[in-house]
Amino acid sequence: MEDATHFTGATQARNDFGVTGDLNGNPNLYNTSDIVVAVVDTGIDANHVDLDGGKVIAFFDAVNNNTTNSYDDNGHGTHVAGIIAGTGDGNSNNRGFAPGAALVSVKVCGATAAAGCQTNDIIQGLNWLLANRNTFDIVNISIETFGTQAQSQNVIDLINQLNNTGKTVFVAAGNNGQAGYNTLSTYAKHTPYSVGNVRDPDEGGWGLSVSSSRGTGSTGPWVVAPGHNILAPLANSNNGYTEKTGTSMATPAVAGIHALMLDAFYTTGVNNGGSLILGTRNLGVPGFDKNYGNGEVLAYESIQASLGQQVTNFNDNRLYSVVQGAATAGQWDLYTFTLPSGQPSLNLNLLITDEGQQDLDLFLWIPGTTLNDAPQTSSVLPGSIPQDFINWSNPAGGEYIVGVRSIMQAANYSLEISY
């Protein structure tokens, strides 16, 4: 399977993924607390209306050794937890992916960026999870590090131990994509289930977020999911929400989808031929690649497979095409396409797939203009970023021309067009 679809936050996650109950129309699939997700982060504000009422069933504090109620003096962990399992009590449009899931809060990061996430605290938190592994099913670690493997080996070993006990651990791929390829977080490089970050059509079109860390050669993130401008609970606000962007937000999207898959599988699918294989769709170059890994997660199709039902062919009418090209120095590659009228936006995403810091430029001519006219808009990012993109709001219907140009060096690329 290969695919996913759009949501503007943890907000419309379930609705935009077509998830309104199980595939037999049973809404109880999302009301159970049988599935538990452990959030290794800055803590969880268990008083936020989306996360209160006993949703946080256990709490461990490696930072301040607080043994009472779960708290979050930073806000990052609360945002992550809301994407996974927020109930939407503060705003019914802001439910997380698995609002019926329960949570375990493991605080390993301090209140400020300066305090950070200390390796010894992460080790302590993961050891606690290993000792209490019968209390949860899934682990979310939206923490990045770019230290050496040797510096991170103890954490890597503990993550892999948890995976080997059957507790799937999703880790953030990292937010160092501006530096180009081979920028995955050290945890992501050496554990199996890392998640990168893509924009959705309402946030600049399907395409890798510029900040999402990338692999190198035949390595990359495991999968990608939307993580751009995600609206989720604001810690210590009672019922407020805030937007955040990054692989930290994409990772809990996948953790929440996996919670739904587990619930579907053990509710119906285990006796119906269900399969716990995450469904994705291909973006970028065909097959596994260093930008998108195995592709963008498809929630609805993943749940269909978990229930043992025939997986439908995903039809995203907002993704026009994905083109593979090879630019020759000093020449143009030109593409024409017809955009239907009434589209909210037109989005072009150009990924340079070579790793030698080649620089390509992307241009767009709108209907009524020709190549003799100046292009109406262009996006030229620094050459160290192997990517360009164009976002055109409220475009007119008609024939468009897209130009890809290399001035100095030949380069291979992938061009994604969506609206």
Encoded tokens for 251: 């990772």
Residue 41 annotated as catalytic: yes
> Catalytic: which of 6, 48, 76, 190?
76
Question: How buried is residue 24: exposed, middle or buried, by Cβ count under 10 Å (0-12/13-18/19+)?
Answer: exposed
Tell me the HSE value of 268 on the side-chain side, using a 13 A CA sphere: 18
> Catalytic: which of 16, 41, 50, 361?
41
CA gap 145, 151 in Å, rounded: 10
CA gap 204, 198 in Å, rounded: 10
Smallest CA-to-CA distance from 19 within 272, 273, 255, 300 is with: 300
In sequence order, what are the beta bridge partners of 57?
none
Residue 388 annotated as catalytic: no
Collapse the DSSP code of 402 into the 3-class scheme (helix H, G, I; strand E, B; otherwise coil) and give the result. strand
For residue 352, the surrounding DSSP H or E stretch is strand 345-352
CA gap 350, 332 in Å, rounded: 14
> Catalytic: which of 248, 302, 306, 406?
248
- Residues 75 and 234: beta-carbon distance below 8 Å: yes
Residue 248 annotated as catalytic: yes
Pairing assessment for the beta strands 168-172 and 194-199 based on DSSP bridges: parallel
Catalytic sites, residue numbers = 41, 76, 248
